[in-house]
Amino acid sequence: MWLAWFHNDQDALKRLLPADLIAINYGEQEWQNLQQTLQVAQQFAAGGGKLISLKFDRSEIQVYGDVAVLYSLFTLETEEGGKGKRSSGRATEIFRRNGDTWVNTGWHLDSGA
């Protein structure tokens, strides 16, 4: 899902994210729904944003039937407007099995500070 977002792969995002998505991103007061998440990915790409690297330093998963909760520490490097930016933090992501596919129903990202 992360790669689909950073590469603005709208088709993959629509397959991997449900209509009832709730996304809490660090540094933002408002939560995002599916349409807002798709728009922000599009804006990132349209502004020349590029993913340089993405690393999950630690990940743990808990599975409860058709629901899985993924906890991660991540580090990512992007480039926007010719300037590099490095970010790191914590992610809690919720997945729901939808047939043979796991969809990412929501996440909460924070800086870990």
Averaged over 67-82, what is the pLDDT? 96
Q: Which of 22, 108, 26 is nearest to 70 (CA)?
A: 108
Averaged over 69-76, what is the pLDDT? 97
Per-residue pLDDT at 113: 67
Cα separation of 103 and 44, whole Å? 22
What is the domain partition of the chain in residue ranges?
2-110
Q: Are 69 and 93 in contact (CB under 8 A)?
A: yes
Tokens linked to 75 = 């580090």
Averaged over 18-33, what is the pLDDT? 95
Sheet strands (E) in 1-113:
22-24, 50-64, 67-80, 83-98, 101-110
Least confidently predicted of 16-20, 66-70, 78-82: 78-82
Provide CATH code, domain 2-110. 3.10.450.50
Tokens linked to 12 = 């993959």
Local confidence band at 45 (pLDDT 50, 70, 90 cut-offs): very high
